[in-house]
Amino acid sequence: MFRMIIAGCMLLGGCSYDVANRYYAEEHYPPKPIDEVAILYHEPSRPYETIAELQARNDSDEGMQKRAAEIGADAVIVQHLGGRYSPREEWAEQKRPSSKLYTRIVGIAIKYKE
């Protein structure tokens, strides 16, 4: 049954799997609207605190943004560790403009210091 669920998610391309989250902050923050969480691709220049590390397969930048919003982050620093992913193919490619999913993606959820 579990394999059927995973296969269904892969075919739909709408859910991530092999998810790993690690929460670091001592405080728990209320969720934020997704559009208030910035997607960054490098470390910001202003001071911040890392509140969590988010990892997944078959996910997107927007998926990381959504998960960061759920824990009240101000931004998520996204790193693509694998190529773009298509559920219909066995191998990931580096350049696939039609796909926003990655074989491995990591997001560092941050809160800005005031």
Low-confidence ranges of the chain (pLDDT < 50): 1-14, 96-98
Of 94, 15, 111, 52, nearest to 6 (Cα)? 15
Nearest-angstrom CA–CA distance, 79 and 110: 14
Torsion from C-alpha of 6, 10, 16, 19, nearest 10 degrees: 40
Q: Rounded CA gap, 103 and 63, in Å?
A: 13
Q: What is the pLDDT of residue 67?
A: 95
pLDDT at 57: 80
Q: Which amino acid is at 74?
A: D
Cα dihedral 24, 30, 36, 38, rounded to 10, equals: 10
pTM of the complete model:
0.71
How many separate domains does the chain show? Answer: 1
Residue 95: both structure tokens together: 């350049």
Query: What integer pLDDT is reported at residue 8 of this predicted model?
Result: 44
Domain that holds residue 97: 2-112
